[in-house]
Amino acid sequence: MQVADQVTRTLRRPLLALAENDRVEGLMRRNGVSKGLVRRFVAGEDLDTAIAAVRSLADQSITSTLDLLGENVETPDAARAAVAAYVVILDHLAAAGLEPNISVKLTMVGLDAGPDVARVNMVPILERAREVGGFVRIDMEGSAYTEVTVAITEALHDRFPDQVGTVIQSYLRRSADDIERMIRRGARVRLVKGAYAEPAEIAFTDRREVDESYRRLMLRLLDAGAYPALATHDADLIAAARHYTAERGITPDRYEFQMLYGVRREMQRSLVEAGYRMRVYVPYGTEWYPYFTRRIAERPANALFVLRQLVSR
Ligand code: FDA
């Protein structure tokens, strides 16, 4: 396990750098490198396939949050197209009798053009979510966007208190304060460890510190948060949550576990069988490359598999 951790730490930064490398992306796409592995983490390229995946999870009593892959759009038209696509997704989920729950990245709806652009673009998505009884989670991106994402969530939460929440990353040193900001206003938090490469001045870089921070923030959310989402595949942290909630009489309908599509599927099922709520993050679309690279960077076995495929070509 220690060797695996060391390999992950060593490979993580270079692999995350690849997420921004157009040439490597072209190579991966052209050669269809690791197509099977992409399929494991990404539900498909179109909405119908993604909805079929959501339905299949629902058949196993697992709820979903749908993510249309894409980030850092470069034009107002692309941002508007993403907004329209998200409204369609909410409609299709509702029409299919599935819970309309989506995850949105603010850079997909124009954040790079300015905070007001992204905030205004979120409004039609949230209005539709309200109409269909849905929920919109604002994903958390790299640290350049943390403050603006928290601030936009606050502004939107004033207007849409039941429709919007965000994500807090335990690897960031600032996160205890952000959790308190969300607790004060009763906004829902999804707690994650964090998936980007961040500098030591602002982030814990030691794995144990990240895990310890996760544990602290998790317990705080379980005590005082609004329906927290504990998004992790870490068996120790999940056991700690189960232990803490059982001890305090916090019933399983007051929070949920979340995991990524294709990761630890058996654990997803066994938690449901044990009576816990489980939601799976289901990404789909053609813009899978940065998301896929982040998943690869998280686990040495995945990374080594991809490297072997690249070298053998
Ligand atoms: P950790 O990385 O320690 O993994 C624990 C164990 O889980 C590993 O030992 C391995 O067995 C298994 N595992 C983890 N990742 C795997 C993978 N890719 N393939 C196979 N096995 C794997 N991040 C972010 O910065 N912003 C966000 O908005 C989100 N949103 C989000 C939603 C949901 C529902 C989840 C589950 C996660 C995110 N994340 C995220 C990603 C998160 O920050 C983190 O990178 C991953 O969840 C991996 O961290 P773990 O907590 O699972 O622990």
Residue closest by Cα to atom 36 of ligand 1: 259
Pocket test for ligand 1, best of 190, 192, 258 (most atoms within 8 A of CB): 192
For the stretch 135-158, pLDDT in tens is 999 999 999 999 999 999 999 999
Q: 181 C-alpha to center of ligand 1: Å?
A: 24
Q: 260 C-alpha to center of ligand 1: Å?
A: 7
pLDDT at 47: 96
> Is 142 in contact with 111 (CB distance < 8 Å)?
no
* 3-state DSSP assignment of residue 97: coil
Q: 95 C-alpha to center of ligand 1: Å?
A: 31
* 3-state DSSP assignment of residue 240: helix
Whole-number Cα distances in Å, 248 to 193, 223, 244, 252, 286: 24, 9, 6, 12, 44
> Is 128 in contact with 83 (CB distance < 8 Å)?
no
CATH 2.60.120.380 describes domain 43-287: no
* Ligand 1 atom showing the smallest separation from residue 105 Cα: 28
pLDDT at 295: 87
- φ, ψ of residue 131 to 5 degrees: the values are -60, -35
Known catalytic residues are: 139, 190
Q: 97 C-alpha to center of ligand 1: Å?
A: 29
Pocket test for ligand 1, best of 293, 298, 302, 305 (most atoms within 8 A of CB): 298
Q: Domain-by-domain residue ranges, the chain?
A: 1-42+288-313, 43-287
Residue closest by Cα to atom 3 of ligand 1: 234
Could you give the angle at the alpha carbon of 19 between the alpha carbons of 17 and 20, nearest 5°? 75
pLDDT at 297: 82
User: Could you tell me which of 172, 164, 158 has the C-alpha nearest to residue 134?
Assistant: 164
Which residues contact ligand 1 via a Cβ below 6 A? 139-140, 167, 169, 192-196, 231-234, 258-260, 263-264, 281, 295, 298-299, 302
Per residue of the chain (313 residues), what is the pLDDT tens digit? 455 566 666 667 776 776 677 766 776 776 655 677 788 899 999 999 999 999 999 999 999 999 999 889 999 999 999 999 999 999 999 999 999 999 999 999 999 999 999 999 999 999 999 999 999 999 999 999 999 999 999 999 999 999 999 999 999 999 999 999 999 999 999 999 999 999 999 999 999 999 999 999 999 999 999 999 999 999 999 999 999 999 999 999 999 999 999 999 999 999 999 999 999 999 999 888 888 888 888 876 777 777 776 666 5
pLDDT at 35: 72
Pocket test for ligand 1, best of 233, 234, 258, 296 (most atoms within 8 A of CB): 233
* Ligand 1 atom showing the smallest separation from residue 8 Cα: 2
pLDDT at 30: 64
Contacts of 222 (CB under 8 A, 6+ apart): 228, 241, 244, 245, 248, 250, 254, 255
Q: 241 C-alpha to center of ligand 1: Å?
A: 16
Q: 131 C-alpha to center of ligand 1: Å?
A: 32
Q: Is the dihedral of CA 232, 235, 237, 243 positive or negative?
A: positive
pTM: 0.92
- φ, ψ of residue 95 to 5 degrees: the values are -65, -30
10 CB neighbour count, 10 Å cutoff: 12
